Chain A
C-alpha cells in the first residue's frame, strides 16, 4: 500500500527538520505509543497500540534512519511485529522552503502481512488515512510549539 501527501507548516525549515529528527518529539506524534526507546541517532524502537478492531493491534516497532540530507531529506525503514500482523514500511520526506513556511512532501510504502493484511485495503485504507491525519496534525502542533519556543 502506497500513501503519499503534502503538508505545509508555518515554521522555518530548520524547525521542522529539528522536530522530525527528534525521536522524543516524534514519539508524541505517533498514535497509541506505549513506550519509546532511542538507541542511537539512527535507531529507535517503540511499542504501539494501533486502534484496530475491538482490542487494538499491539506492535513492536523498530525504526532505522537509512538516509538523510539535512535539512531537506530523510528516509526511514520501519519494521513492526504484532499478533497477526507484520509491517514493513519505507518512508521518506522532502522539505522545501515556501516563503516563511515549509512545504513537506512525504511518501510511505507500507507492506502489511499476516491476517490483518488480508482484511484488505477496503478496511485498512480508512484506518491508515485516519492515522496519517492524526500524525500530521500532531506534527503540526509539535512544529508550532517548537517555533513559538
Chain B
C-alpha cells in the first residue's frame, strides 16, 4: 500500500520558483516503452564480426605470491585467440593513479595481479576465445603456481605488528589515517551529566547487486590508436582519468559509449582494471573483445560497500537528553586495493552530525586494506555507515538513559527555522524539517496504537518493536573534499554539462553528460526543457545513454552521488535557457521586433502582443540551418547551445578540515515495526513508513520509485545481505543462493510520505535523492532492539541482523550489554 501525504503547507525556502508546468508532473517515462518491450540496448547486446570473449583466470587464494603463470596449454586449444598475464600488464601499463597520501599512495594496483594475489577472485590472467564458454573452459588450462600467504580478514588487527602486509611497497596496511576534531569534545564531556560509552559497533560489508553485471565490448582502432568501449561504466570521466595514464595515452583515445544500463549503484565506477585488461587484449589481438561478468565474479571480485568498525564511542549527554556530540575511533575496511579510496575517509564528513545539532565531534579515522574484494562507492557511500552510527548512538543513549527515542530525536534534531544550518565542520544543510517528517512517519504507522499492538503481539507469543531511522542524502559533491585527504590532489568543485539544440525540422535534441542507469534522465530532462521552451515533453528528444565522443561531457560527468536533479538538470536548464534566448532573438529578427517582445509557447515563437505573429519551431530551425542568407552577420545565434553547470563551491580549509562538502541534503525519516519470534529469532517487518524530503520533485513517481528501491536496499542490508569471509579469505555468499536480495514478496507493506523543502541553492529547488536508503537499516536495528528490550535489554551492535544474530541476542543479551556503560556525575 502506498499513501502519499501532501503537506498542507509545503515549506518553500526560496519562494517564486519553479514555475508551474511540466516539472512536478508524473508524465509517462520516455525510457519505459523500449525497456518493457525488450528493446533496450545493453552493452552485451552489441556484437562485432569475429569478436573474442574474455574470461578472467582468478586467484583461489586470498593472499598468495604468484610464482609462475603458464598459458601455453590454453593457447593450444583451437578457438582460443590469445591470453594476457600480469607480467605483460606490468610491462605495457603503469599502475593506476592512487588518490591517497602515503602509505596508501605507495600501493600498486594493475589491471591484473602482478607478483601477488591479494583477494580470492582477483584476476591473474585473461583468456580470449571464440565463445564465452570456450574462454571459460580454456582458462582452466592456465597453470598458476602460488605460494600461499597468511590472509588478513579482520580490519581491526591490520595494524598489529604480526599482521600480514598486503602491499609490501607501502610497508603498512594503512591506506589513510587522520583525526577530525571539531568544536571542543573534552569541554562537552566535562559539561555533560552523563557520558554513554559504547565499546564497538560494526557496519557489515554488503553491496547493491545490479540486475546487469559489469562488462564491455572494446574495439581498438589501429589507425587512430583509439579504443571504443561499449560498456556500462557509470562514471566515464573519472574512469578515463584512471585508465588513460595507465595505458600511457591521452584521454581522447578512450571513447565510452553507453545506452541502457541495468543498475549501477556505484559498483560500476571502479571497472578500470577490467577495462584496461580488455583494451590491451583488443590491441594485442587486433580484434574486438567482450567481457561479461559472471554473477559469482560480481559478488566476489567486483566491488563491495565499505565495512566499518566503530570503537570506543563516547557520547556526552545533558540530563534533559540534549546530546553535545560524540567521539569515536573508526576503522574502515576497503578490501585489497584502495581504488576510489580513500575518499570514503572524508565523504562521511558531509553528514558529520547526522540530523542533529551536535557541535563537538572527534573522529579518529583509519582506513586499512584486507584480503577481501576491493570496495567502491555503494549507494549511500560512506555516509550510510556514519549515519548508522549516529542513529545507533541516539537509540542506545535513549535506551540506557531511559529516554523516549522520539523525544530525544526531536530535542536534538536541527530545527526547521535554523536552515540553512552550518554543521561543526562547515557543511551547509540547505533546507528541511526533520521533526515534521518524523511526525508524518509516526502517523503512517499509527504510533499511538503501538503499545496496544505490543500487547496483542505478546498475546500471540511475539515481541513487537518499533524503530526510527533518520538520515540525510547529501548530494552534489564538492570534490575539494578530496584535498582534505591529500592536499596535492587538484580536484575541487563539480560540474555537469548538457547541450540543447533546435534542428532543421524543428526537433529539439538534448544530450546529457550523465550516464543514466534507470533514473529516468530522459524523462526529467524533457520536462525541464519543455517548461522553458513552451512545448510538450513529447517534443523533446533526449539522446539515450552517453557517448563521450559525441556527447559534450565535463570532468565530473557521470551518474553518482545523488546529483542529477541538481547538476544534470542544472546543465539542462542552463542550455535550454540559452536556446530559448537564441530562438527569441532569431524570431525577433524575422518578425521585426525586440527579443523581449517574443514568447515561446505551444511550439512557437510568437509576439506576446500579437500571438498570430508566430514562427513554429520548425521554421526557426529551417531558417537558421538551411535558409540563412540575409540574416545579420552579428546575429550570434547557433540554436546549438552547450551549458556547463558549476555549483557554487569554495575550496575547503584543509587545516581545519572545514568547508561545504555538498550542496544539498535530502531527508529520509523511516519508521519500522517488527515482530520477533523469541524462540527462533525469526522476525517479520509488519509495518513500514518512509518519508522523504528532496525539495522540488521534478517527477514525483520517479522519486517514489527511488524511495522504494533505496528502502529495499536498506531492508536487504539490515536483514540478510552480507558478505562474510571465512578465516582463509573465502567469500561465503558468492551468489544469490547464499546472498538473499529482497524481492517483492519480502517487502513489507510500505507507506510513503513526502514534503518538499526546496533547496535555496539549486537551479530548480530540487535535491539529489537516490541514495537515501540508510534510514531503513537503522530503523530495523532500532526496532529489533526495542522488541528485545524485555528479554534482557540486549544492544544491537551490527548493521545486519539475520535471524541467527537475533537469536544470539535473545540467548545472551548480557554479551552485547557488556559493551555499554553509562558514567554519570
Is A112 a contact of B730 with CB atoms below 8 Å?
yes
Rounded to whole angstroms, the CA-CA distance of A115 and B61 in the bound complex is 10
Is B140 a contact of A113 with CB atoms below 8 Å?
no
Question: Which residues, 38 to 82 on A, are CB-close (under 8 Å) to B?
Answer: none
Rounded to whole angstroms, the CA-CA distance of A119 and B296 in the bound complex is 11
Rounded to whole angstroms, the CA-CA distance of A111 and B120 in the bound complex is 13
CB nearest to B296 among chain A residues:
A115
**Residue A118 is within 8 A (CB to CB) of chain B in the complex:** yes
Rounded to whole angstroms, the CA-CA distance of A83 and B726 in the bound complex is 20
Is B731 a contact of A118 with CB atoms below 8 Å?
yes
CB nearest to B731 among chain A residues:
A118
**Residue A120 is within 8 A (CB to CB) of chain B in the complex:** yes
In the assembled complex, the CB of B122 is this many whole angstroms from the nearest CB of chain A, namely 12
A-B contact count (CB 8 A): 41
In the assembled complex, the CB of B297 is this many whole angstroms from the nearest CB of chain A, namely 9
CB neighbours (8 Å) of A119 from chain B are 734, 737-738
Rounded to whole angstroms, the CA-CA distance of A120 and B300 in the bound complex is 13
Is A86 a contact of B140 with CB atoms below 8 Å?
no
Contact with B along A82-113 (1 / 0, CB 8 A): 01111010000000000000000000000111
CB neighbours (8 Å) of B300 from chain A are 115, 118
CB neighbours (8 Å) of A117 from chain B are 60, 726, 728, 730
Rounded to whole angstroms, the CA-CA distance of A111 and B730 in the bound complex is 10
CB neighbours (8 Å) of B738 from chain A are 119-120, 122
Is B734 a contact of A115 with CB atoms below 8 Å?
yes
**Residue B732 is within 8 A (CB to CB) of chain A in the complex:** yes
Is A118 a contact of B728 with CB atoms below 8 Å?
no
CB neighbours (8 Å) of B731 from chain A are 118
Is A113 a contact of B728 with CB atoms below 8 Å?
yes
Is A113 a contact of B732 with CB atoms below 8 Å?
no
**Residue B611 is within 8 A (CB to CB) of chain A in the complex:** no
CB neighbours (8 Å) of B487 from chain A are none
**Residue B148 is within 8 A (CB to CB) of chain A in the complex:** yes
CB neighbours (8 Å) of B732 from chain A are 118, 120
Rounded to whole angstroms, the CA-CA distance of A119 and B734 in the bound complex is 7
Contact with B along A111-149 (1 / 0, CB 8 A): 111110111101000000000000000000000000000
Is B734 a contact of A86 with CB atoms below 8 Å?
no
**In the complex, which of the residues A84, A86, A120, A122 contacts B61, with contact meaning CB atoms closer than 8 Å?**
A86
CB neighbours (8 Å) of A122 from chain B are 738
Known A114-B60, A120-B738; judge A83-B140 contact (CB<8 A). Answer: yes
Rounded to whole angstroms, the CA-CA distance of A84 and B55 in the bound complex is 14
Is A111 a contact of B734 with CB atoms below 8 Å?
no
Rounded to whole angstroms, the CA-CA distance of A88 and B726 in the bound complex is 15
CB neighbours (8 Å) of B726 from chain A are 117
Is B140 a contact of A111 with CB atoms below 8 Å?
no
CB neighbours (8 Å) of B140 from chain A are 83
- Interface of A: prevailing SS: mixed
CB neighbours (8 Å) of B148 from chain A are 88
- Number of B residues near A (Cβ < 8 Å) is 17
Contact with A along B732-743 (1 / 0, CB 8 A): 111001100000
CB neighbours (8 Å) of A84 from chain B are 60
CB neighbours (8 Å) of A111 from chain B are 728
Known A120-B732, A120-B738; judge A113-B296 contact (CB<8 A). Answer: no
Rounded to whole angstroms, the CA-CA distance of A115 and B296 in the bound complex is 8
CB nearest to A120 among chain B residues:
B732
CB neighbours (8 Å) of B60 from chain A are 84-86, 113-115, 117
CB neighbours (8 Å) of B733 from chain A are 118, 120
CB nearest to B62 among chain A residues:
A113
CB neighbours (8 Å) of B120 from chain A are 113-114, 118
CB neighbours (8 Å) of A114 from chain B are 60, 120, 730
Among B60, B61, B730, B737, chain A packs the most CB atoms within 10 A around the CB of B60
Rounded to whole angstroms, the CA-CA distance of A113 and B140 in the bound complex is 15
Question: Which residues, 378 to 434 on B, are CB-close (under 8 Å) to A?
Answer: none
Question: Which residues, 609 to 663 on B, are CB-close (under 8 Å) to A?
Answer: none
Contact with A along B47-69 (1 / 0, CB 8 A): 00000000000001110000000
Is B734 a contact of A113 with CB atoms below 8 Å?
no
Rounded to whole angstroms, the CA-CA distance of A83 and B138 in the bound complex is 11
In the assembled complex, the CB of A115 is this many whole angstroms from the nearest CB of chain B, namely 6
Rounded to whole angstroms, the CA-CA distance of A30 and B623 in the bound complex is 86
CB nearest to B148 among chain A residues:
A88
Contact with A along B720-756 (1 / 0, CB 8 A): 0000001010111110011000000000000000000
In the assembled complex, the CB of A14 is this many whole angstroms from the nearest CB of chain B, namely 37
In the assembled complex, the CB of B239 is this many whole angstroms from the nearest CB of chain A, namely 28
CB neighbours (8 Å) of B296 from chain A are 115, 118
Contact with A along B797-813 (1 / 0, CB 8 A): 00000000000000000
Is B734 a contact of A118 with CB atoms below 8 Å?
yes
Rounded to whole angstroms, the CA-CA distance of A115 and B120 in the bound complex is 9
Among A84, A85, A117, chain B packs the most CB atoms within 10 A around the CB of A117
In the assembled complex, the CB of A125 is this many whole angstroms from the nearest CB of chain B, namely 12
CB nearest to B730 among chain A residues:
A117
Contact with A along B661-683 (1 / 0, CB 8 A): 00000000000000000000000
CB nearest to B137 among chain A residues:
A83
Rounded to whole angstroms, the CA-CA distance of A86 and B716 in the bound complex is 32
Rounded to whole angstroms, the CA-CA distance of A5 and B120 in the bound complex is 31
CB neighbours (8 Å) of B62 from chain A are 113
In the assembled complex, the CB of B135 is this many whole angstroms from the nearest CB of chain A, namely 14
CB neighbours (8 Å) of B734 from chain A are 115, 118-119
Rounded to whole angstroms, the CA-CA distance of A147 and B704 in the bound complex is 76
Rounded to whole angstroms, the CA-CA distance of A113 and B734 in the bound complex is 13
CB nearest to B151 among chain A residues:
A113
Rounded to whole angstroms, the CA-CA distance of A28 and B734 in the bound complex is 35
Rounded to whole angstroms, the CA-CA distance of A118 and B734 in the bound complex is 6
In the assembled complex, the CB of B252 is this many whole angstroms from the nearest CB of chain A, namely 39
Rounded to whole angstroms, the CA-CA distance of A122 and B734 in the bound complex is 13
CB nearest to A113 among chain B residues:
B60
In the assembled complex, the CB of B819 is this many whole angstroms from the nearest CB of chain A, namely 28
CB neighbours (8 Å) of B737 from chain A are 119
In the assembled complex, the CB of A1 is this many whole angstroms from the nearest CB of chain B, namely 9
In the assembled complex, the CB of B62 is this many whole angstroms from the nearest CB of chain A, namely 8
Question: Which residues, 269 to 311 on B, are CB-close (under 8 Å) to A?
Answer: 296, 300
CB neighbours (8 Å) of A118 from chain B are 120, 296, 300, 730-734
Rounded to whole angstroms, the CA-CA distance of A110 and B60 in the bound complex is 15
CB nearest to B300 among chain A residues:
A118
CB neighbours (8 Å) of A88 from chain B are 148
In the assembled complex, the CB of B295 is this many whole angstroms from the nearest CB of chain A, namely 11
Rounded to whole angstroms, the CA-CA distance of A68 and B418 in the bound complex is 78
In the assembled complex, the CB of B807 is this many whole angstroms from the nearest CB of chain A, namely 16
Rounded to whole angstroms, the CA-CA distance of A111 and B62 in the bound complex is 12
CB neighbours (8 Å) of B728 from chain A are 111-113, 117
Question: Which residues, 114 to 146 on B, are CB-close (under 8 Å) to A?
Answer: 120, 140
Rounded to whole angstroms, the CA-CA distance of A85 and B140 in the bound complex is 11
CB neighbours (8 Å) of B61 from chain A are 86, 113
Rounded to whole angstroms, the CA-CA distance of A137 and B730 in the bound complex is 31
CB neighbours (8 Å) of B730 from chain A are 112-114, 117-118
CB neighbours (8 Å) of A83 from chain B are 140
Rounded to whole angstroms, the CA-CA distance of A45 and B734 in the bound complex is 31
CB nearest to B61 among chain A residues:
A113
Rounded to whole angstroms, the CA-CA distance of A120 and B730 in the bound complex is 9
In the assembled complex, the CB of B634 is this many whole angstroms from the nearest CB of chain A, namely 68
Question: Which residues, 25 to 81 on B, are CB-close (under 8 Å) to A?
Answer: 60-62
Rounded to whole angstroms, the CA-CA distance of A118 and B733 in the bound complex is 7
In the assembled complex, the CB of A119 is this many whole angstroms from the nearest CB of chain B, namely 8
Q: A84-B60, A117-B60 are in contact. List 18 more A-B contacts (CB 8 A).
A: A83-B140, A85-B60, A88-B148, A111-B728, A113-B60, A113-B61, A113-B730, A114-B60, A115-B60, A115-B296, A115-B734, A117-B726, A117-B730, A118-B120, A118-B730, A118-B731, A118-B733, A119-B734
* A-B pairs with beta carbons under 8 Å apart, 15 shown: A84-B60, A112-B730, A113-B61, A113-B120, A113-B730, A114-B730, A115-B60, A115-B296, A115-B734, A117-B730, A118-B120, A118-B296, A118-B730, A120-B733, A120-B738
Top 4 A-B residue pairs of the complex, sorted by shortest distance between their CB atoms: A114-B60, A118-B734, A113-B60, A86-B60
Interface residues of A (CB under 8 A from B): 83-86, 88, 111-115, 117-120, 122
